Amino acid sequence: MKGFTSLLLSKTSRQLHTAPPRLLWGWLNTVFNKVDEKRIEQVGPDRAAAEWLLRCGAHLRFKDRPSWQRDYNTLPTGPPQKFKIEEIDATDSGVMHIGFEHFRHLKHVKSLTLNRCMYITDECIGKLHLLAGTLQHLEVTSCGNVTDKGLLQLKDLSLLETLRLFDLPAVKDKTGTVHLLEKYLPNCQIDAEGI
């Protein structure tokens, strides 16, 4: 039995050492992005979303609180109605479309920054409609998987006041896409100079 255990452990260890790191991180990020409906019921939607965002490396600011929440272990406790997410900065984070379902329950998010997020795709951009009732400021920069098709899904975000688009290499018809967004979002100031 000892020999079998030793063989099993050495084989498992070898597989872990030879597995491509991107696959491992992709798998972990998928796990971190999973929506847990039971957790939402237990702690409320904003706390559950805060836990998701922080697990993935994003930062957030709660309504009526000046400082940014950057550490999962220092999340404030209290009744669910006390802490509402107002701003999200997902720069360099591992957020992906699976986790965007958390947005379904959030009613106070005014600002979202998606900067250098390798897992942000058109599918993610399409799920931003879940924030249409509150989102006023959006930045999508250096997200290489976002295309023209994805950006055009922003047309339903009628409350947007500012939209910043920069360094989106998968957007092929930059001028046409920006023109259509200006048409769909006439009250939004669009900064797409470096798209």
Task: Give the pLDDT band of residue 63 (cuts 50, 70, 90).
Answer: very high
* pLDDT single digits (tens) 132-152: 999 999 999 999 999 999 999
pLDDT at residue 80, as a whole number: 81
Mean pLDDT of 28-38: 86
Cα separation, 6 vs 4, in Å, equals 5
Cα separation, 5 vs 7, in Å, equals 5
Helix (H, G, I), strand (E, B) or coil at 134: coil
Q: Structure tokens of 177?
A: 């896409």
Higher-scoring residue by pLDDT: 17, 140? 140
Q: Quickly list DSSP for 29-58.
A: HHHHH---HHHHHHH-HHHHHHHHHHHTT-
* pLDDT single digits (tens) 171-181: 999 999 999 99
Neighbours of 163 (CB within 10 A): 23
What pTM, to 2 d.p., does this model score? 0.86
